Copies of this chain bind each other. A is one copy, B any other.
Amino acid sequence: MKPATTRTRIEGVLAPVITPFRRDLSPDPDRFVRHCRWLMRSGCSGLAVFGTNSEANSMSVEEKLELLEALVGSGVPAAALMPGTGHCALTDAVAMTREAVRMGCGGVLMLPPFYYKGVSDEGLARFFSEVIERVGDERLRLYLYHIPPVSNVPITTALIERLLDRYPGIVAGAKDSSGDWENTRTWLERFAERGFDVFPGSEVFLLAGMRAGAKGCISATANINPGAIDRVWRNWRSPEAEKLQAEITATRRIVQKVPMIPALKAVTAHFANDAEWRRVRPPLVELTADEERQVITELKAAGFSMPGL
């Protein structure tokens, strides 16, 4: 494939959007679009729909494409979307990625195939290359999704080197959810100059990331706290930056005392006064009443709110 042409890249704060489910556990496009629009109004520059926090891996290709079509149809700009399109099955990953590009999505965020463990960089390079070649579209901007605590299949620095050599411009960056700042820094040092955009996977690393050349962050808590995280992104060079960073870090610490995905849903349910948001798909379970009380109480004590929700 020819080298990709230059285009505006997604930067800033992205939310891995939580997915609402109806009573029958089917995805709820109306609530989903409503939440996405609130996020875009409230500070998010983009939406990494179908991430880990979206329970994306608990949905089929068809269910995700239906939500994506509803979202693009609602007028949220496709250029601001970075849907997760990674699947264990090569053909599923290709189908998702192809549709995302066809709809004009600004990028795709791809998990490695995560069933087989201990696979080689050669095997992973073949997988990503096969997806890129089959999609065969210069508009593709592929962001690699490194989340070893969940996927148990890491994206190594050597793998990025290899893919970037082969597909410059197409291989556009990565989300680093390792929680290991040394890894993020290594990638920024090695690849930022090569048009490879690094997004830490938590706003805890946002200010440090920006100072080292990151493009923003893609973070679970951007689902509930987009405005404050966006302020750090916009003001990272200002004298206030440290203080703003300390505030969003404090909010994050409260939420991650309990299981993250049901917590984001419980907080959204509480502040939207909409119990439907609490629902998760198995194998996840909702927060207990005690857990929910704890997180809401602590957030309120810290002055947290979700204005305009």
Contact = CB atoms under 8 A, between A and B. Distances in A.
Interface in A52-104: 52, 57-63, 88-92, 95
A113 B116 CA distance: 14
A150 B115 contact: yes
B117 A152 contact: yes
Contacts of A89: 57-60, 63
B59 A119 contact: no
A267 B284 CA distance: 41
Interface residues of A, number: 39
A11 interface: no
Nearest to A113: B283
A123 B284 contact: yes
A57 B90 CA distance: 9
Interface stretch (A124-132, A176-184, A219-227, A300-308): A124-132
A112 interface: yes
A120 interface: yes
Given A117-B150, A117-B152, A123 B285 contact: yes
A37 B60 CA distance: 32
A149 interface: yes
A282 interface: yes
A119 B122 CA distance: 31
A57 B116 contact: yes
B88 A58 contact: yes
A25 interface: yes
Interface string A143-158: 0000001111100000
29 contacts: A25-B90, A25-B130, A57-B113, A57-B115, A57-B116, A58-B90, A59-B89, A60-B61, A60-B89, A60-B91, A60-B95, A62-B91, A88-B88, A90-B281, A90-B282, A113-B282, A114-B114, A115-B150, A116-B150, A117-B152, A120-B283, A123-B285, A124-B282, A124-B283, A126-B285, A127-B283, A130-B282, A152-B152, A153-B283
